[in-house]
Amino acid sequence: MAEQGAADLGNNNNNKPEASEGTIIKVTVKTPKDKEEIAIAEDASVTQFKEEISKRFKAKQDQLVLIFAGKILKDGDSLSQHGIKDGLTVHLVIKTAHNTSASSSTSNQGGNSTTSSPAANPITSLSHRLSPAGGFGDLASLAGLGMGSANFMELQQQMQRQLMSNPEMLSQIMENPLVQNMMSNPDLMRQMIMANPQMQQLMERNPEISHMLNNPELMRQTMELARNPAMMQEMMRNQDRALSNLESIPGGYNALRRMYTDIQEPMFSAAREQFGNNPFSALGGNSDSGAQPSRTENREPLPNPWGPPNSSNPSESGGGTTGSTSTSGATNPSVSNPLGVNPGSMFNSPGMQSLLQQISENPQLMQNMLSAPYMRSMMQSLAQNPELASQVMMNNPLFAGNPQLQEQFRSQLPIFLQQMQNPEALSVMANPRAMQALMQIQQGLQTLQTEAPGLMPSLMTSGIPGVPTGGAVPAENPASSPRNGTVRDHTHILKLPPYQTPEVRFQTQLDQLNAMGFINREANLQALIATGGDINAAIERLLGSQPS
Amino acid sequence: MAVQQHKFFRLLEELEEGQKGGGDGTVSWGLADDDDMMLTHWNGMIIGPAKTVYEGRIYSLKVDCGHRYPEYPPMVRFVNKINLTGVNSSTGAVDLKSVSALSRWKNSYNIKMVLQELRQHMMMKENSRLSQPPEGQVYSN
């Protein structure tokens, strides 16, 4: 036995017990998350056992609570006293107040001032001195703080600075019992927020915020968020994603910006003053997240916020401006769509429509819109859901009041949508000059329509749904258009969502031309298109261009 | 006599399981007194579930398996003060009927289950947010 002891003493291996008198027994130490087998002397004391455990689980000894057979093992006891023998299991709880599951291998926060940054210390001392309910009101005890700063505001600022630079410290602070106590009390939080005069102003200006604050569910969620950095990240990611979606809608950016300046900024500065961290960044963008985010990171792909199901009631949109927060549409906000944006209603809103007009005036905007990666998937979902697309299109101002047009357009939708996905078409749209040309042609067509309505009945229907519908691409089944590249562009333009391909439309004329001896089908078609189906004019064109 | 033996072995099994750390580490149980030959007096321990007001606390209980156990449920009493429906606020005695899973006792139920179900009970909406007395207080009997 003594030899064993000597050998053991010389050995730094963690597996060997320190006090090595008596036989070694192997005891399993089990936490809800983890399990380790620890070898310890049979007659060791609980303290010694805890020393071993502290090493293995990387936790402080005084945080360890050992339970065996329903009893808490006190330091002064011995293992044998409790009947702990080889092969038995002891339960371990690592007390990091509010962290019930003993996180063995994960880093142990517990608010202990293990960091060197001075700001951490006040928190720990605070936890000993202040009662949670007192919040930060009890300045007297601050006198004992290591920082030597009697001014609490200064303290806070320093803390903030530290926090900003050291994210790990943030998580430490979060773990701290005082902070957590505070945060788990929604009433307290609300009081603190409201106490800030800036916030009060903000609340007056934006009743939504006060509504948000008064919603205990939301507060609780936010606080849980703040506590759980992984969840926090997830939320932020969702939010960023949703924001970027919004940004990609023309006008959405403006709305976003408005939202930010009205709400977020003052809120941020107010919140920053008080807390120095960003649990409220989520709050700021997240008015009324009704859904319960899960605690764990959501590894499923985010649902497509532009997905079809939301469009079921665009007429109910009532949702004033685009991108507005919880007041928009009837959609329930979900985690991935925190602003409760209902894409269907967004398109229908007057704001959107005016923006569509703006787009037509500003090709650059169009380009921006298109370049947003999300546009593509939106197109796809539009393509997949003709109903949504039709609703979107129907409410376009150009269509309003022209049911015939709508009908035609509706029937053309599938083709149209496919065309939208044609990258070439998209690149045309992205080209501002092309867009301008498109505009001009459209205007020309319109003039023509008013001047000579009988002349081009078909062109009228196809020409009008132009660019402003947010993507009225030169949509044409490429097979039917002439192969010539440059000409194709023009013909594409002219054939803006056609309800019939020119070939079909001009079938009779084509036949006639063929009968007359004009055998160049392509040239015929071009001519017919250029003249809008007027055979005589087409013949003249053909004669003019053809050498014979 | 055979019935008694049966009960005894049954309790013995529970004892063994308790010592081997049965369950998922959130409850623990064992004989209160090693000399207790009748295996009637037991200690139980429940670790307060996360995301409730009980989080971070360790609750000690006394479980008395009378001579009618396991046909009849044991008497369970909290040692640490707790605010939980079904628990007598002055004595800590647990009314098992208020715990839905235990309200209809079966003889296949055991101490582990009692403790686990009590823990589940803590997680129920009506309980998970009840304000709790400060840690460390015990019932005085």
CATH superfamily of A502-545: Ubiquitin-associated (UBA) domain (1.10.8.10)
Listing DSSP states for A253-300 in one string gives HHHHHHHIIIIIHHHHHHHHHHHSS-HHHHHHH-TT--S---SS---S
Q: Compute the average pLDDT of residues A235-241.
A: 75
Question: By percentage, how much of chain A surpasses pLDDT 90?
Answer: 2
Q: Which residues of A428-440 are buried (b: 16+ CB within 10 A; e: fewer)?
A: bbbbeebbebbbe
- Using an 8 Å Cβ cutoff, are A462 and A448 in contact? no
The pLDDT tens digits for A319-364 are 333 333 333 333 344 444 433 333 333 344 444 445 445 555 555 5
- Using an 8 Å Cβ cutoff, are A305 and A242 in contact? yes
pLDDT recorded at residue B83: 93
The pLDDT tens digits for A425-475 are 556 555 667 777 877 887 888 788 777 766 655 444 444 443 333 333 343
Average model confidence (pLDDT) across chain B: 89
A-chain residues near B13 (CB < 8 A) = none
Pairs of CB atoms within 8 A across A/B: 82
B23: left (phi over 0), alpha (psi -120 to 50) or beta: left
Any domain includes B97: yes
The pLDDT tens digits for A184-221 are 555 666 666 666 666 667 666 666 666 665 666 666 66
Strands A64-68 and A24-30 come out as unpaired
Cis geometry, peptide bond prior to residue B70 (ω within 30 degrees of 0): yes
The better pLDDT of the pair A311, B133 is held by: B133
* B45/A99 touch (CB, cutoff 8 Å), yes or no: no
| All CATH 1.10.8.10 domain ranges in chain A, comma separated | 502-545
Domains in chain B: how many in total? 1
pLDDT recorded at residue A47: 92
Q: What is the pTM of this model?
A: 0.36
Query: Is the pLDDT score of A165 beyond 60?
Result: no
pLDDT recorded at residue A506: 84
User: pLDDT band at A265, cuts 50/70/90?
Assistant: low
Please give, rounded to a whole number of angstroms, the shortest distance from the CA of B15 to a CA of chain A: 8
pLDDT recorded at residue B122: 93
ipTM: 0.86
* 3-state class percentages of chain A: helix first, strand second, coil last, to nearest 5: 60, 5, 35
* Alpha helix (H) residue ranges in A139-278: 152-165, 167-175, 177-183, 186-195, 197-205, 207-213, 216-227, 229-248, 252-259, 265-275
For an interface test with A, give the residue of B24, B35, B47, B64 to mutate (most A CBs within 10 A): B47
Query: Is the pLDDT score of A255 beyond 50?
Result: yes
Please give, rounded to a whole number of angstroms, the shortest distance from the CA of B97 to a CA of chain A: 23
Q: Report which of B27, B77, B25, B82 is spatially closest to residue B53, judged by C-alpha positions.
A: B82
Q: What is the DSSP letter of B26?
A: S
pLDDT recorded at residue A513: 86
Q: Which of A30, A68, A95 sits opposite B25 (nearest CB)?
A: A30
* A96/B61 touch (CB, cutoff 8 Å), yes or no: no
A-chain residues near B29 (CB < 8 A) = 69-70
* A70/B19 touch (CB, cutoff 8 Å), yes or no: no
The pLDDT tens digits for A113-160 are 333 333 334 443 433 443 333 333 333 333 333 343 344 455 555 555
- Report the distance separating Cα A106 and Cα A126, nearest Å: 25
Any domain includes B75: yes
Domain hosting residue B10, numbered range: 1-123
* B61/A70 touch (CB, cutoff 8 Å), yes or no: yes
pLDDT recorded at residue A94: 84
Q: Report which of B102, B77, B105 is spatially closest to residue B91, judged by C-alpha positions.
A: B77
Any domain includes B22: yes
The pLDDT tens digits for A364-417 are 545 555 444 445 555 555 555 555 555 555 555 444 445 555 565 555 555 655
B-chain residues near A292 (CB < 8 A) = none
B-chain residues near A91 (CB < 8 A) = 21, 25, 28, 45, 47
pLDDT recorded at residue B93: 94
Fold of A24-94: Ubiquitin-like (UB roll) (3.10.20)
Q: Report which of A489, A484, A378, A475 is spatially closest to residue A433, judged by C-alpha positions.
A: A489
Please give, rounded to a whole number of angstroms, the shortest distance from the CA of B103 to a CA of chain A: 23
**Residue A22 tokens, joined:** 């008596």
pLDDT recorded at residue A413: 54
Sign of CA dihedral A511, A516, A520, A525: negative
Q: Report which of A238, A230, A194, A228 is spatially closest to residue A213, judged by C-alpha positions.
A: A194
| All CATH 3.10.20.90 domain ranges in chain A, comma separated | 24-94
Q: What is the CATH number of the domain that holds B5?
A: 3.10.110.10
Strands A89-94 and A24-30 come out as parallel
Alpha carbon distances (Å) from A508 to A505, A525, A534: 8, 11, 11
User: pLDDT band at A487, cuts 50/70/90?
Assistant: very low
- Report the distance separating Cα A22 and Cα A124, nearest Å: 41
Question: By percentage, how much of chain A surpasses pLDDT 70?
Answer: 27
For an interface test with A, give the residue of B19, B24, B42 to mutate (most A CBs within 10 A): B19
Q: By the CB < 8 Å criterion, does B50 face chain A?
A: yes
Listing DSSP states for A397-461 in one string gives TTTTT-HHHHHHHHHHHHHHHHHHT-HHHHHHHH-HHHHHHHHHHHHHHHHHHHH-TTT-HHHHH
A-chain residues near B48 (CB < 8 A) = 100
Any domain includes B3: yes
**Residue A345 tokens, joined:** 């209603």
Query: Is the pLDDT score of B19 beyond 80?
Result: yes
Q: Which residues of A, range 195-254, sit inside 8 Å of B by Cβ? A: 224
Please give, rounded to a whole number of angstroms, the shortest distance from the CA of A305 to a CA of chain B: 30
For an interface test with B, give the residue of A26, A28, A67, A79 to mutate (most B CBs within 10 A): A67
Q: By the CB < 8 Å criterion, does A31 face chain B?
A: yes
Please give, rounded to a whole number of angstroms, the shortest distance from the CA of A69 to a CA of chain B: 4
Any domain includes B109: yes
Sign of CA dihedral A172, A175, A181, A187: positive
The pLDDT tens digits for B22-73 are 777 889 998 888 888 888 899 999 999 988 999 888 999 999 998 888 889 9
The pLDDT tens digits for B92-125 are 999 999 998 889 999 899 999 999 999 999 999 9
Query: Is the pLDDT score of A109 beyond 50?
Result: no
The pLDDT tens digits for A13-63 are 444 444 445 789 999 888 878 888 999 998 889 999 999 999 988 888 888
